[in-house]
């Protein structure tokens, strides 16, 4: 696929938040994001490996993708879950937090400019799982067939009970787009990053190299 690097955002500490888009225009895009929690490196590593493969595979047809490899770049540098102002990005999408979280402001501006069909978040958690909101089961089930992670539906009632304006809420309310969270296992003495990647490589490559996503975008 051919990607172009778009204008980057800036973190609290003025670090660059990279942003990429495939060389195709569409009404809606599939987002690949990681690094919302800066200290969880597993999802960032998997997305980096996938993104490298996508960029170097020129035989595949371009599909409308937006890639944000590391949203919370300050958190990654400092190995914290929050940004440099102590904001946990995934839970604070309300307007009063935007000044303290330029990362969220940049992400929201991108969503408005390139409306999402689905957002796939590469994260990590023990035990591993795939969480999804309404409309995300199709993609979640496809991936689960390969890695056998438990599927968990994030119920609307759960989101309604959350006090803050979270990422799942903002996607549902403003963009009618589902969130699919692939929660990979955490790095340990018994499990390396490369082993996590090798266990998930086929599911991710098949997701993009078959007609699955092309057909999904038409639905």
Q: How does residue 160 score in pLDDT terms, banded at 50, 70 and 90?
A: very low
Task: Give the model's confidence band at 163: pLDDT under 50 very low, under 70 low, under 90 confident, else very high.
Answer: very low
Q: What is the pLDDT at residue 26?
A: 93
Q: How many CB atoms lie within 10 A of CB 82?
A: 19
- Residues 41-98 have pLDDT tens digits of 999 999 999 999 999 988 888 899 999 999 999 999 999 988 898 888 877 666 566 7
pLDDT for 166 beyond 80: no
Averaged pLDDT score across all residues of the chain: 90
pLDDT for res 189? 83
Are the CB atoms for 204 and 212 separated by under 8 Å? no
The pLDDT score that the predictor gives to residue 96 is 65
Average pLDDT value for residue range 161-170: 67
pLDDT tops 60 at residue 117: yes
Looking at residue 164, its pLDDT comes to 55
What is this structure's pTM?
0.92
pLDDT classification of 31: cutoffs 50, 70, 90 = very high
Per-domain boundaries in the chain: 3-218
CA-closest candidate to residue 98, choices 87, 110, 113, 111: 87
Distances (CA, A) of 126 to 159, 185, 202: 21, 5, 21
Identify the pLDDT of residue 165.
60
Helix H, strand E, coil C: the string for the chain is CCEEECCCEECCCCCEECCEEECCCCCCEEEEEECCCCCCHHHHHHHHHHHHHHHHCCCCCCCCEEEECCCCHHHHHHCCCCCCCCCCHHHCCCHHHCCCCHHHHHHHHHHHHCCEEEEEEEEECCCCEEEECCCCHHHHHHHHHHHCCEEEECCHHHHHHCCCCCHHHHHHHHHCCCEEEEEECCCECCECHHHHHHHHHHHHHHHHHCCHHHHHHHC
Which CATH number among 1.10.150.450, 3.30.70.340, 2.60.40.10, 3.40.630.10 corresponds to the domain 3-218?
A: 3.40.630.10
């Amino acid at each position: 696929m051919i990607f172009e690097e778009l204008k980057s955002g800036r973190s609290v500490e003025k670090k660059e938040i990279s942003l990429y888009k495939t060389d195709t225009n569409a009404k809606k895009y599939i987002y690949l994001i990681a690094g919302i929690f800066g200290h969880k490196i597993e999802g960032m590593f998997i997305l980096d490996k996938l993104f490298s493969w996508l960029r170097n595979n020129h035989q595949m047809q371009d599909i409308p993708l937006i890639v944000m490899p590391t949203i919370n770049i300050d958190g990654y540098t400092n190995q914290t879950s929050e940004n440099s102002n102590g904001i946990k990005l995934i839970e604070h999408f309300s307007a009063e937090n935007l000044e303290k979280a330029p990362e969220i402001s940049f992400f929201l501006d991108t969503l408005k400019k390139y409306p999402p069909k689905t957002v796939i978040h590469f994260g990590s958690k023990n035990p591993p799982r795939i969480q999804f909101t309404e409309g995300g089961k199709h993609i979640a089930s496809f991936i689960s067939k390969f890695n056998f992670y438990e599927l968990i539906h994030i119920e609307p009632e759960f989101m309604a009970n959350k006090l803050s304006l979270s990422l799942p809420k903002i996607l549902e309310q403003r963009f009618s787009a589902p969130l699919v969270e692939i929660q990979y296992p955490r790095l340990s003495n018994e499990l390396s990053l490369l082993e996590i990647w090798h266990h998930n490589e086929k599911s991710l490559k098949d997701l993009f190299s078959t007609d699955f996503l092309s057909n999904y975008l038409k639905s």
